[in-house]
Homo-oligomer: A and B are copies of this chain.
Amino acid sequence: MQLTKKLTRKEQIKKVAQNMFRERGYSATSMRDLANAVGIEAASLYNHIKSKEDILRQICFGIADDFFHAIEQVEQSNLPAEEKLKQAISQHVKVITNNLDASAVFLHEWRFLSEPYLSDFKKLRDSYEQSFKKIIIQGKEEGIFKAVDEKFYCLTLFSALNWIYDWYKPTGLLSPQQIAEQLSNLLLEGIKK
């Protein structure tokens, strides 16, 4: 993998938009702001993208895809629930730390999608969360997890996972793998029998 990939203008716009949407929010980022950061005029953006919301769509559904592929791999394995959960956590952390800006947009700016994309997005998200709940249920069936409420447990787990983008720095002390381990320790030990 090359370190400095030459980006097409379209990719460059997406990248800059990810950062600005994250930093200022989708609504508060104007097409003129975006164009200025890219170094062209606002109107010129439209040679590369369909609309402002089109950019948001690409960001949100693009990263949703990443999360989905990650969890699918875990689901298809025939591992015990504890190992599955550890891997799911690890994969989730990896997706976020590899895509900090996009993850932040994914988590907070999706609500500015219009229908029917908004409904599609929510369905994807629900389905992803469902995958985690299934792992907890499996663990209870295996008899290795306590009788926790999987809904409450997953809410807490996701909140911890989905806040990472807010404080993780690639230059920081903890690697993504270490973060995943620490979180597993903190949140998995508490439900093991």
Q: Which residues of B contact A155 (CB under 8 A)?
A: 163, 167
Q: Is A156's CB within 8 Å of the partner chain B?
A: yes
A158 within 8 A of B: yes
Residue of B nearest to A158 (CB): B163
- Tell me the residues in window 91-116 of chain A with beta carbons closer than 8 Å to chain B beta carbons: 108, 111-112
Q: Which of A2-10, A44-52, A62-70, A179-187 contacts B (4 or more CB under 8 A)?
A: A179-187
With A25-B27, A187-B186: A159-B163 Cβ-Cβ less than 8 Å: yes
* A153–B167 alpha-carbon span in the complex (Å): 13
Separation of A183 and B186 alpha carbons in the complex (Å) = 12
Residues of B within 8 A of A108 (CB): 108
A115 to chain B, nearest CB (A): 15
Kindly state the separation between the CA atoms of A108 and B25 in the bound complex, as whole angstroms.
10
List B contacts of A37 (CB < 8 A).
none
Alpha-carbon distance A119/B50, docked complex (angstroms): 38
Neighbouring B residues of A162 by C-beta, 8 Å: 159, 163
- Checking B25, B152, B160 against A156 with a beta-carbon cut-off of 8 angstroms, the contacting residue is B160
Residues facing B in A8-48 (CB within 8 A) are 24-25, 27-28
The 8 closest A-B pairs by CB, nearest first: A159-B163, A27-B27, A27-B28, A159-B159, A186-B190, A156-B160, A159-B160, A190-B190
